[in-house]
């Protein structure tokens, strides 16, 4: 159990303070405050976690204007969520180890701008001089399962009840009830409700 503003999770091996701009539901469990190592959101509410959520060693990396939401009864184990804008995860979502979910490319696509960006983010650079790059929210609807080492890219909505098989790279919207696999991910079947 943990509370916003606590300095440490009981029995935690790590010593990162728990951010004050988060909302946590009842009976939610994390195994370590290490999940906040890269959490830099400065929004009044940067992270909203529902009831009965288990966060087992994920990385929640949020830039200063980012918002992450995790719905009730979801389970995230060893995944990485990286947000500049917004990542929304519904209820009863299972996310396996090695999964990466990002809402941006985190660099410009133009080669010249990418070089400028590389210099700006270097140890001798000036991060305030980074060129602009695209970002778009990721939405994962309720009852979704995402298998080991899958990657969910910017702007994607994964429909309710879908299964993302291990290693899939999802770069476009997935209809509800889909089973997808591959790189790039393709719909292989539909679940019948």
For 3, phi then psi, to 5°, come to: -135, 145
Residues serving a catalytic function are: 107
Q: Tell me if 60 sits within 8 A of 37, measured CB to CB.
A: no
Say how many Å lie between the first and final Cα of the chain, rounded. 35
Q: Tell me if 46 sits within 8 A of 25, measured CB to CB.
A: no
Strand pairing of 178-181 and 186-190? antiparallel
Question: Reduced to 3 states, what is the DSSP secondary structure of residue 99?
Answer: coil
Rounded Cα distance between 133 and 174, Å, is: 24
Rounded Cα distance between 114 and 106, Å, is: 10
Q: E strands within 28-108?
A: 29-30, 47-49, 54-56, 59-62, 67-70, 75-77, 80-83, 86-89, 94-95, 100-102
């Amino acid at each position: 159990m943990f509370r916003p503003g606590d300095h440490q999770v009981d029995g935690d091996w790590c010593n990162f303070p728990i951010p004050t701009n988060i909302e946590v539901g009842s009976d939610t469990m994390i195994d370590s405050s290490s999940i906040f190592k890269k959490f830099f959101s400065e929004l009044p509410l940067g992270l909203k976690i529902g009831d009965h959520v288990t966060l087992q060693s994920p990385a929640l990396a949020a830039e200063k204007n980012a918002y992450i939401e995790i719905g009730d009864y979801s389970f995230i184990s060893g995944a990485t969520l990286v947000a500049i804008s917004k990542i929304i995860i519904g209820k009863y979502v299972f996310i396996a180890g090695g999964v990466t979910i990002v809402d941006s490319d985190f660099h410009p696509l133009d080669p010249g701008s990418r070089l400028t960006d590389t210099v700006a983010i270097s140890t001798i650079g000036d991060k305030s001089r980074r060129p602009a790059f695209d970002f778009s929210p990721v939405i994962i609807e309720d009852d979704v399962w995402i298998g080991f080492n899958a990657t969910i890219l910017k702007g994607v909505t994964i429909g309710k009840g879908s299964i993302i098989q291990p290693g899939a790279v999802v770069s476009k919207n997935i209809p509800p009830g889909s089973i997808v696999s591959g790189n790039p991910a393709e719909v292989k079947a539909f679940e019948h409700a």
